[in-house]
Amino acid sequence: MSGRKLTLTPEGILLAYRHGIFPMADERSGEVLWFRPDPRAIIPLDGFHISRSLARTLRRGLFEIRVDTDFEGVMRACADRPEGTWISERFVEVYGALYRAGEAHSVEAWREGQLVGGTYGLALGGAFMAESMFHRETDASKVALAALVGRLRERRFILLDVQYVTPHLESLGAVEITRREYELKLERALGLSCRFA
């Protein structure tokens, strides 16, 4: 990628992710910053952890899972946080363009006709780069993430990138790997032709 400038455009985001880089907006200034962390967090698709309480929720079928029916709604819900967000209006615009191009996707949890949880990200080859998630009801984001993992397994994806480990993601099986390990996994994943939608 030597000599190529990253830009917050659909093309720039795809280029960045193919090289293990992702953007976030500074919450105060709105400036776009680019990250390539070491270590990097992933959820191994065979290591997703379903707790007893989540298993009960899944069995009860409280939520209807939908895919790509309200991508912008999921993004805006992820951005709606009292502590602030890195998801600026420009991010909504650019990722919306990626969604319309079939590169970005949302997995949504609905209840009684209302969007109550979800996650979104990019699908490239056999990799899915999860950007953010939200919930308005208990376990709704976890149910959406479980549905995402199930879909990725079914469609033979091999990499679920979650960028950084948080206590929430760690409880679901997220682990940290070195940048080099991540780049090797990414290279292998990008060589696959998996269909998310």
Name, in order, each residue with C-beta under 8 angstroms of 171's C-beta and a sequence gap of 6 or more: 49, 51
- Please give the chain's pLDDT, 197 residues, in tens: 544 678 999 999 999 999 999 999 988 888 999 999 999 999 999 999 999 999 999 999 999 999 999 999 999 999 998 777 889 999 999 999 999 999 999 999 999 999 999 999 999 999 999 999 999 999 999 999 999 999 999 999 999 999 999 999 999 999 999 999 999 999 999 999 999 98
Fold of 38-190: Aminopeptidase (3.40.630)
Tokens of 97: 């363009």
pLDDT at 4: 62
What's the confidence (pLDDT) of residue 82? 76
The pTM of the full predicted model, rounded to 2 decimals, is 0.94
The predicted pLDDT at position 1 comes to 52
Question: Where are the chain's structural domains?
Answer: 38-190
Instruction: Characterise 163 by phi-psi region: left (phi > 0), alpha (psi -120 to 50), beta (else).
Output: left
